[in-house]
């Protein structure tokens, strides 16, 4: 695909209850207000096959496979999501805003799940290859606050496979996401997600404007 007409690929990452979904919607609206075509999607999921795998993973059905098996299932879902949703959208010039992507595998299965970094890196190379995001926004929030927010959001429903992990797991995740941001500062930006949603949205927008210049991006034809 030609680099000049290709859309841009933005991912939002972070622990539980960081407000990624709300911010992904706000970012979608803001980009659309500039006349851009935007595809907002999520992982695991974002295509019919990958949504089916989401059910299997988040219900805990795949937990007996261990982090290694779960990482492979997230990878299988990601391959389908890339092939059927993300890459076609980018190729036609759409901007893709994705709630979680490969950094979640690095943090959840890799660091918090104790998988060797080389295994996770090799899997990412196979699954994602050259299709890394142009920009990754890491929404940072203390683990305790995020878990409380996530519990409030889901009301009486039970915690999913990963929300149900102990606090130490979620504290490790926070560190893992911050370490990814430090290791890849050109791709990643850390956003303070403790602030009110409108302030978080403003912080996100200033990073998107500065790094990807959406006002100058080619708009879809009539």
- Which region among 23-31, 97-105, 118-126, 185-193 touches ligand TMP (by CB under 6 A)? 97-105
Residues 54-83 that bind ligand TMP (CB under 6 A): 58, 74
Smallest gap from Cβ 21 to ligand TMP, in A, equals 7
Q: How far is the CB of 37 from ligand TMP (least distance, A)?
A: 23
Residue 95 binds to ligand TMP (criterion: CB under 6 A): no
Based on the shown chain and the rule CB under 6 A, indicate whether residue 46 belongs to the binding site for ligand TMP: no
Residue 119 CB, nearest distance to ligand TMP (Å)? 14
Q: Contact 144/19 with Cβ under 8 angstroms? A: no
Asked if 9 is part of the footprint of ligand TMP (rule: CB under 6 A), the reply reads: no
Q: Which of 6, 30, 100, 170 binds ligand TMP (CB under 6 A)?
A: 100
| Closer to ligand TMP by Cβ: residue 161 or 211 | 161
- Give the count of residues interacting with ligand TMP (CB under 6 A): 11
Binding positions for ligand TMP, rule: CB under 6 A: 43-44, 58, 74, 99-100, 104-105, 108-109, 162
């Amino acid at each position: 695909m030609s680099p000049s007409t290709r859309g841009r690929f933005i991912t939002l990452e972070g622990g539980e209850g960081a407000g990624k979904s709300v911010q992904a919607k706000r970012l979608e609206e803001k980009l659309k207000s500039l006349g851009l075509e935007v595809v907002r999607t999520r992982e695991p999921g974002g295509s019919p096959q990958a949504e089916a795998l989401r059910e299997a993973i988040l219900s805990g059905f795949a937990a007996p496979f261990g982090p290694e098996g779960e990482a492979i299932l997230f990878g299988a879902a990601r391959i389908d999501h890339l092939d059927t949703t993300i890459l076609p959208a980018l190729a036609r010039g759409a901007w893709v805003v994705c709630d979680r992507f490969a950094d979640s595998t690095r943090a959840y299965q890799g660091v918090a799940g104790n998988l060797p970094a080389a295994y996770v890196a090799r899997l990412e190379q196979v699954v994602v290859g050259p299709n890394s995001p142009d920009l990754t926004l890491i929404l940072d929030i203390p683990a305790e606050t995020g878990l409380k927010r996530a519990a409030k959001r889901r009301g009486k429903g039970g915690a999913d496979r990963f929300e149900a992990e102990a606090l130490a797991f979620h504290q490790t995740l926070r560190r893992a996401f911050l370490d990814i941001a430090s290791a890849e500062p050109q791709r990643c930006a850390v956003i303070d997600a403790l602030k009110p949603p409108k302030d978080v949205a403003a912080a996100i927008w200033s990073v998107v404007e500065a790094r990807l210049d959406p006002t100058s991006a080619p708009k879809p034809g009539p």
